[in-house]
Structures are given as C-alpha cells and as structure tokens.
Amino acid sequence: MAASASSSFTLSHQTILSHPKTTPATSIVVPVNSKVNGALLLKSRRRRVGGVGRVESRAAVVRAAAVEALETTEKDQVVEKSVNTIRFLAIDAVEKANSGHPGLPMGCAPMGHILYDEVMRYNPKNPYWFNRDRFVLSAGHGCMLQYALLHLAGYDSVTEEDLKTFRQWGSRIPGHPENFETPGVEVTTGPLGQGIANGVGLALAEKHLAARFNKPDAEIIDHYTYVILGDGCQMEGIAQEACSLAGHWGLGKLIAFYDDNHISIDGDTAIAFTESVDQRFEALGWHVIWVKNGNTGYDEIRAAVKEAQSVTDKPTLIKVTTTIGFGSPNKSNSYSVHGSALGAKEVEATRQNLGWPYEPFHVPEEVKKHWSRHTPEGASLEAEWDSKFAEYEKKYPAEAAELKSIITGELPAGWEKALPTYTPETPGDATRNLSQQCLNALAKVLPGLLGGSADLASSNMTLLKMFGDFQKDTPEERNVRFGVREHGMGAICNGIALHSPGFIPYCATFFVFTDYMRGAMRISALSEAGVIYVMTHDSIGLGEDGPTHQPIEHLASFRAMPNILMLRPADGNETAGAYKVAVENRKTPSILALSRQKLPNLPGTSIEGVEKGGYIITDNSSGNKPDVILIGTGSELEIAAKAGDELRKEGKSVRVVSFVSWELFDQQSDEYKESVLPAAVTARVSIEAGTTFGWQKIVGSKGKAIGIDKFGQSAPAGKIYKEYGITAEAVIEAAKSVC
C-alpha cells in the first residue's frame, strides 16, 4: 500500500496543498512535455493555476521524467502521441459538430490513455465479454474522451466515420454516453453523479458474483470498475449517497478518478465548492490518493492505480489534479473550454502548442500500431476466460448454470410457475405483503434477483427470507441495505442491471419518495435497465403520515415517462401479474405501486389480465354494450367493483375494468382495446386515489374521473377516503350522471 514516493502518495490532511481561492491571474511558464518534434516545448501564457507550489511540483516531475528519458524515450513518445491523439480527436469532433465539451478530454487524456492502454482488460471485438473491466465516465459531457479511447482500442462501434458524426442525427456517438447507442459504453451518463453511483452498482455486482461463484481453484469472476468523475459529480448528493455505501461495503475493486480541475460551468469551483473532498472520502471509508500532476505525470498515475489495486478492502479515490482544456493556450483552465468548440483559431493555436501537425481526425501510424495489440490481446483474454469457465462448468455444473443465467439473461424455464395465485376466498392482504410473497417465491428460481429498500425493508416488505444481508463480509447474500439514500439506490440498481443481463435488481421506498430518485429512474427507462421499483404506501391510504408522504401526482407523472411500466395491482393475482411483467421486461423498468392497507382478492383478476394492462374483471352486459364502464386501479378497483354490484342490483348492465397498466394496454391491438373499452360506450367512470390528470384519455369527454387533485391529509385512511369522496357512493352517483 506504500505509494511510489516521487509520483503519488497517500493523502494526509497536513500535507495537502489547498487550492488558493482568490489567487489573482499571474503570468507563469507552464511546461508542456511534448516531445513530438524531439524538443521540449515550453510555452508561456497567462493562466490561473493553483499557485506556484503546484506548478513547481509539476515542473519537477517533468524534469524527473527527462532524466529517465534515455531508456524510455520510445515508449514515452508513443504515449505522449497517443495522449495527444485523444485530445485532438476530441477537439476535432467537437469542432466539426460545433457542439460538445473538449475541456475534459483534453485534461483527462493521460488518465484515459493509461486506463485503456495499460490497465483495463477488455476485448474490443466483444464489448459484452462478461469478465471485462468496466469503465464509467461519470462526467458524461466529456464523452469524446471515451469515444476516442474506444476508437483507438479497436471497438467497431466507433470508427473514424463515426467520429465525424458526433452529435448528429443517427450518429452512433451521441452527445453524452449512452449504453444503448454505443457498444463499449456500459451505462448512460450526463446527468451528474449518476455515473459514479452506477459504478458502485457495477462494483457491487462484481463483488457479489465473485463471492457467490468463485472457488478456491477457480477464480472466474475478477474485474475492476473504473470511474472518472468531475467536480460536478462531486457536488451532487447522489454521489455522496453512493460513495458512502461503497465505503460501507468495502468495494475494493472500485477505483474512481476524480478529475480535479477546479473549473465548472460557472467558473472556478471556489465560488461554490470549497469542502475538502479528500477528507470527506476518508470519512466515507475510502482510500484516497492524490496525483498532483495529472497533465503529464504518467508515472504518478500508474503508481496510483497500482496502489489502488493493492488496497482490496476499500474503494479508492484517486484525485488527479488536471488542467481543463490542457494544451489550449488561451482557453485552458477556464470555463470557456468546458462546453463549447474551441473555434478554428484556438484549434490551430493548440496544434501549434502541442506540436500536432496532423489533419483533423488523424491517428498517427505509430499510435495505431501501438494500440493494435488490444484486438489480439482482448481475444486472448476472452478465450482464456472461456476455457477457465469450461473447466468450472465441469467441476461445478450447478453454480455454472446459475452464473450462466446471470451472464446471458436467459431466465430459467418455467420460472413464472413460482408465482403465487389467489382466489376470492384467500384472505385479503396489503399488496405490499403480497409483493413480498412474490419476491420470496421468485428469489428461489431467479438467480439474478437481488435488492432491498432505502431503510424501509419492514414497511416495503422487501426482505428475502432465505438470504442474509449483502455486507462487506457477506457479499454473497442478496438483501441489500441501502440506508435512507433513494437516489443513490436507484442509480446503484441501474449499475447492477447493466452489469449483466440476468441481474434483476429491485429497490424500494414509499411511492412518494420516487421524487427523490426520479433522476435515476429516468435513466433506468432511457438506458433500458430493467430495474423493479417496489413502491409501497401508494396513496392517501397510508393515512396518518399525511400529505408529505401521500402520493397524488406520482402515477400520472410516471405514466407520462417513456419506456417505464407503471403498474398498480389491486390484489394477489394482480401483484403476481405485475411481477411476471416486471421480470419479463428486462429492457424496461417497472414500478409497482403497492398498498399499505389490506385489500380483498377480487373475483376476475388474473395474471393474464395484468399482462394486457387493462381488462374486464366483471360484466353483466351483452353485445359489448354495457350501460356504463367502471374503471379502477389498485386499491380502488375494490371500490369500482362494489359500485358495480350496487348498480347491477338497480338493473344496470355494468362492466368493471381493471386498468393496472396504461402502457401495457396501449400496446394491445385495436380489437382488444375495443373489446374492453368500446368506442360506442361513452358512459365511463374512473376511480383512482390520485390525480385525475390524464384520465380524460380513458373516460373521454363524456365520462367522469374520480380522483384527488389536491394534497392529502394526516388522518386515518378510511376517514380521508370518505372526506375526499373516494367511495363507492361517489362512483354510483357519477355513473348515474353519465348513463
């Protein structure tokens, strides 16, 4: 764990040189170690840096490197050239798009180079090789860094032609990293802080699988998760949440590079961000290393990675002090290089400064040659692993089958038979409890199911009884304790889901607190991460906790979100159906809105019905022409059913429809939809203990939507239902008024 004395060192509070917040701009010489033309370029320009101390130490490193130059010239040259290739691919792509973020790739090119060229194990021709190291660019705006690296490494997803289409319609390399667009990109980042939290999820997945499947004679799971995050990520609360958990879990194979460049969009971070990040991460139980010269201190970076890998019981933060836009004589170290093209003039000046005589998008031959080894090496790595796994499979067939299911995402045949079914005679129960029955039934047949709650396990009913807690020393277990960290929880689950197709992570809190984690949930939807969100206490039905805890607008707000299934089951069969749908939809996340209160098992509900999204549970009409259609979801389906019974007693023909998932209903054929909601029947009443917003689509201009368009109240649930008019009487009255 001792760091190389000259290049990196273990952080100690006393020795940190603090970033001076108000140092006025001074003119100093910044040595740029560019040996491209056989000469050390020394370029003088005005810039604000972290005081003479920082610059001196950087210069010292440069000199130290020069001493060793005799032996390492050729290697150094190609590294330097590779690093500048990365910088200019980013510069050129952003310039061509006239849009993008050149500053980060220019500053992070050295660490990027070392990671992809010297440290990481991957197979460029199979980006999905299971035992690859994972890389996450949490500072996703700097995506040209990753695209340049994928290009050099030989990934087919980023050709020279692709680089020229950056940020254009139909491009395979969009404005922020998107796993569903670019093979080689593991997760979707851009919204700050998500990536580091995804990284925690990826590292959790590795630690879990390694503990569960590795054998003393067969270490088949063994890979690292590397993350680059910036000042923006560091300020986000989600990053704190996830990193606190990473420290708690002791995720030793998580190594995060903090691009410490002191610049964010509004300028110097000193205007809003003066905490000691190093000390905070120590408080979180991380190992912290500071690389003072991230611009040219390659050996410092290498030593830091080595040290980080040697610390196996803690995640490591490598703070790498860099210059944003390194190499740009007039824009580096300023916000102006963060999010805009440099402009032709400054591109030219940067070419001059870094001694780069090439055309845009050019990759020098020696750089190409240097990187070309990754294709055969990657193939070897995978082949080696394949034979290792073949051996494992022979020795441990049962474990291998489970692991294979997680690797491939192929669900075990007949898994859905594990789901419980219910009859109207089964005693009623809260759907949160029924959910726990489903989770526990599924855990027996789905090897990739794991998850937990944000400190509400006993309220959300999410504990898997056959397993213990996933903890630092028991990582093979499957109950994850997220603490009160909803946003981090969601993003960690995205990381788990995207680690391997067969992982089915679930996470839980009160439905109203989706407000805390919506950023992560939207990324689930966008990045096709099939996370299951177990959201209990789904309405005023939670009672006394009052309006801060009672969701009103949440069902509507998720129905409006693309590629996410909003499911609100009414009873046992529907809860089982919701799980069937959620497990099957591996590229679409599902939200299950579940009741705190007890609900009866209703006649007519079914798993198959749920799969259609909306379906008839009872009907006494004929010819698809009921007098009135009553539509309910979740806990209010019971009310609709009751009102239906009453109206039938009065001689009406009434259809009662469960509308458990709007998205699934939308996917059905027109014929099916007409069979449930015939256009000719405009007498429709819906009831749901939430906003009526959106229901007009279902009940039509002549129908009535019963719901709640104001905040809730603190009182026993039954009382609120009555006072808010969420009653069978209200449905009956509305039905009579429309038919």
Number of H helices, E strands in the chain: 27, 24
Q: What is the pairing mode between strands 532-536 and 429-430? A: unpaired
Considering only CA atoms, which of 529, 554, 579 is closest in space to residue 197? 529
Ranges assigned E (strand) in 20-177: 26-31, 42-47, 134-137
CB of 307 vs a second copy, minimal distance in Å: 22
Distance CA 295, CA 83 (A): 10
Q: State the minimum distance, in angstroms, from the CB of residue 580 to a second copy.
A: 25
537 among annotated binding-site residues: yes
Between 61 and 464, whose beta carbon lies closer to a second copy? 464
CB of 82 to a second copy, least distance (A): 27
Minimum CB–partner distance for residue 603 and a second copy (Å): 31
User: Pairing state of beta strands 532-536 and 590-593?
Assistant: parallel
Decide whether 237 or 603 has the Cβ nearer to a second copy. 237
One-letter identity of residue 119: V
Q: Residue 44: helix, strand or coil by DSSP?
A: strand
Using the minimum distance from each CB to a second copy, give the nearer residue, 31 or 519: 519
Residue 385 or 558 with smaller CB distance to a second copy: 558
Of 6 and 276, CB closest to a second copy: 276
**Residue from 196, 195, 100 nearest 148 by CA:** 100
Question: For a second copy, which is the closer residue by CB, 222 or 515?
Answer: 515
One of 282, 399, 486, 638 is an active-site residue; which one?
486
Q: Between 237-249 and 194-213, two packed helices, what is the crossing angle to 10 degrees?
A: 20
In this complex, which beta carbon is closest to a second copy, that of residue 145 or of residue 367?
145
| Helix, strand or coil, per DSSP, at residue 64 | helix
Using a 10 angstrom Cβ sphere, with 0-12 exposed, 13-18 middle and 19 or more buried, the burial of residue 215 is: exposed
CA distances from 577 to 566, 607, 717 (A): 13, 4, 26
Q: Label residue 159 exposed, middle or buried (CB < 10 Å: 0-12, 13-18, 19+).
A: middle
Q: Please state, as a whole number, how many other Cβ atoms lie within 10 Å of the Cβ of residue 52.
A: 13
Let me know: does 243 contact 233? Beta carbons within 8 Å. Answer: no
The letter for the amino acid at 376 is P
CB atoms within 10 A of CB 408: 12
SS3 of the chain: helix, strand, coil, percent, to 5: 45, 15, 40
Q: How far is the CB of 159 from a second copy (least distance, A)?
A: 18
| Residue matched to tokens 């980042």 | 189
User: 257 among the known binding-site residues?
Assistant: no
Closest contact distance (angstroms) between CB of 204 and a second copy is 13
Concatenated DSSP letters of 319-340: EEE--TTTT-TTTTTSGGGTSS
* Residue 432 annotated as lining a ligand binding site: yes
- CB of 265: closest distance to a second copy in angstroms? 5
Is 245 in contact with 239 (CB distance < 8 Å)? Answer: no
Our CA dihedral for 108, 114, 116, 118, rounded to 10 degrees, sits at: 180
Is 619 one of the annotated binding-site residues? no
Torsion of CA 304, 325, 133, 309, to 10 degrees: 10
591 is in an annotated binding site: no
Give min distance, CB of 365 to a second copy, in A.
32
Does 113 appear as a known binding residue? Answer: no
CB of 552 to a second copy, least distance (A): 6
Our CB check for a second copy shows the closer of 643 and 726 to be 726
Whether the CB-CB separation of 48 and 72 falls below 8 Å is answered with no
Annotated binding-site residue? 338:
yes
362 a known binding residue? Answer: no
Q: Which is nearer to a second copy, 594 or 732 (CB)?
A: 594
C-alpha span between 574 and 580 (Å, rounded): 10
Q: Give Dmax (Cα) for the chain.
A: 99
> Any binding-site annotation on 198?
no
Residue 659 in marked binding region: no
Active site residue 486: yes
Report the C-alpha gap between 68 and 98 in whole angstroms. 41
Instruction: Find out whether 655 is annotated in a ligand binding site.
Output: no
Taking the C-alpha atoms of residue 180 and residue 182, their distance in angstroms, rounded to an integer, is: 6
Answer yes or no: is 557 a known binding residue: no
Residues marked as binding?
101, 141, 190-192, 231-232, 261, 263, 338, 432, 459, 513, 537, 545, 549, 596
Residues marked as binding for Mg(2+)?
231, 261, 263
Question: Which residues participate in catalysis according to the annotation?
Answer: 486
Residues marked as binding for substrate?
101, 338, 432, 459, 537, 545, 549, 596
Residues marked as binding for thiamine diphosphate?
141, 190-192, 232, 261, 338, 513
